[in-house]
Structure 1
Amino acid sequence: MRTLIGRLFFLLIAISFLGCSAPVTEEDFDAESAWEELEGVLREQYAYLDRQDAAFEETIGAFKARAAKAGSIKEFIDLSQSFLRHFQDPHLNLGPYDENDFSVFPTGSDLRAVYEDEIFLIEDVKAGGTADLAGIRPGAELIEIDGLEPKEAVEAVLGVPFDSLSADKLTYGINIALGGYRNRQREILLKEEDGPVSYPLAASYQAIDELNNGPTLSFERIGEFGYIRFNNSLGNQETTRAFEDAISSLLDTEALIIDLRNTPSGGNTGVAEPILGHFVETKTAYQLYRTQKKGVPYTEAEMKTAYAKPNAPYYSKPFVVLAGRWTGSMGEGMTIGLDAIGAVEVIGAPMADLLGGIKTTKLKESNAWLEFGFERMYHVDGTFREDYEPGTMISPADRDANGDDPSLSLALSVLEKAIQDSK
């Protein structure tokens, strides 16, 4: 009997090892096979391939030719990371990372720049981030990032000549560059009214790390209104209890402001749905989705519905939502969900466009992992989540040139008018 059990044990061990292939060595690495594996997963399982422009097949061809010449696994991974940034999808990532990789965007971002009239301008500054605390304000012209001119910085991010890129890709590339390299101090040179000013900034992750050590959200009364701001905490189960406590404390307010502008890392429905439940009296749809699988494109998949179920205490008063450049993933889902279930208004800037529900798969030909959106998300009205924009747009949405909060000021005005109109 013991012999039989022993044989079964070793058989199970052998099967488990067969299921877990050994990492490919540098000697056995084949760059062409690694590229075919990466491209195959994207074409079969990535639910957002159809968002790419007409020139995208040319981009694939160009990177494929370069990837075939990669002399090492690291060179292949670095090249693949540059290639994937052309999708302009912060949810599409490939690792492992090292110290020479850029910070994950938008989590590792605290500045927003835009390309206009052949220069890069600071468009917004993340409230409470390192750049905000250093005094950087919208309107300044970007001159250098870590000693590189913007043109060079964009080329380092996207891996192709500056002149070959669209304005959208230039903007996407510069915003990744502004986040700097992982866990490294940055040096940002700006042209302001009084001339060039250099800003030494801590690694962009530092403010997020400090935030993670604090409360999951903050809340207060502003006159007769309640205000709740999430601290990049939609993946933390403690947030649901903290929100319940906040709502309970603010039940007697005339209206509520829900601030989702600091949710760049996203989260999960296990946190979001109980929060949404405080604003519904019956089971209510807040988001639609389709899942793409190998051999089944999302366009042919069943449209499914995500629901919020009632959760006490119920908040029956008017509420508005604040969203912006650092509203990401589940933050975007909550924004469209709150819009669907009855927000008076959504105020802010276009969101971060972290596309879809994500999963991670191992790429055995390169020892890499690929994180990508396999679920296509929709507003309950049937439009794509990534196409949603706040009903009341404002730019900048986090910090204005005076260091004030323009979205919050506008939200207070909107609620005051809503209360007056209801009387």
Structure 2
Amino acid sequence: MRKFVIASVLLLQTIALSAQSIYEKDFLSFWNNFKNNYAYFDTQPIDWQKVKEIYQPQAAKITNQTDFIRFLERVTYELHNGHVFLYTNLPSSNRIIPSGQDIYVQRMAPNQFKIVDVKPDSRAEKAGLQPGFIVTKFNQKAIEPQLKQFLPKSAQKLTPEMYAYATNMLFAGVHNQPRSITIKQGTGEKTYFPDQGQLLSYKKLKGNVGYIKVKNALGNYDLIPAFDQALEALFDTKSLILDLTNTPGGGNTTVARALMGRFTSKEMPYQKHEYPTNVTRGVRRSWWELVSPRKKIYTKKLIVAVGRWTGSMGEGIAIGFDGMKRATIVGTPMAKLIGEVHSYKLPQTGIGYQIPDLKLKHIDGTPRENYQPKVLTKNHQETMQKAKALAGVKK
């Protein structure tokens, strides 16, 4: 009888084990590796058994690799130290600290945060963030509630070390979203964007004129939130210069429409697509692509600066704003890149290439490559002089 009971127990354990998903099995392997090898359970207030009780039921419900990576990242937060991290991460994963961290923020008290140090030569330093700044918001939201995602769920009592880890993980940010850090300034606030320099730069010019320069990033979806943050900071200006003179690499229409959508209060066509007649049996096929309003609309004067290094999608934005009658286009002739391109691949060697297989035109029918800015200049220096004059920049 005893042998039967033992055999039954072993059978039930085998059935239970086989019923576990690959993700639950990997979680248990992860948990056991830390249980057997982690050298600091004796000095850190971590209840590792409690971690298992909290997270194993969650692991059992996971059905894909992406969710499992996010899940394991949350488990590592229980150990609240920058030397514990995964080798595999996602675009949405948090930067690790200290390597991905450029400011050190101290939680002085609940809902009170101060920058106590800034990494030399970092994006944060170049953006103007300094030790001593009192921080009021991170990514336009209150800070204290955002710490919860990084604080250990197994802890009976949250320690200063846990809060320090959570605070600086938050301010390190995630890989695929630029940060905004709002500090107290006098009786008001000022917001800094330490990551925006990678995709664009912006500033206020004399005479309350805004200036945004896109840095060859019209194919990068991260440009959309970065542009939104920059425009928000310049929203009270009397006019705006949008500098597209360094966009030779082109981009995509999603990013372009997102940018243009901040400047129109109604849906409008911005460019015309046209198939060559040799692929449409001699019957012309064409359509207008539309821009839709997005978020809060900037209604003041808009000057768009272009040049010989404004290519492809940059050219599309220029003819779009012109066709919408929403901006004055200033600059030299643009790059004259023809058509909308699509990718192809050779079947044997796998070598890829692109073909301009759709014609692109101004909504008035002018081929995009033939468009000339309304205010035509000879070179970049003259372009910027005229753009500033039209926008009302004071000397």
Name the TM-score class by shorter chain. 0.3 to 0.5
Larger Rg: 2
Instruction: Name the TM-score, length of structure 2 as normaliser.
Output: 0.47
- Kindly indicate whether structure 1 or structure 2 has the higher relative contact order, using CA contacts under 8 Å at least 6 residues apart: 1
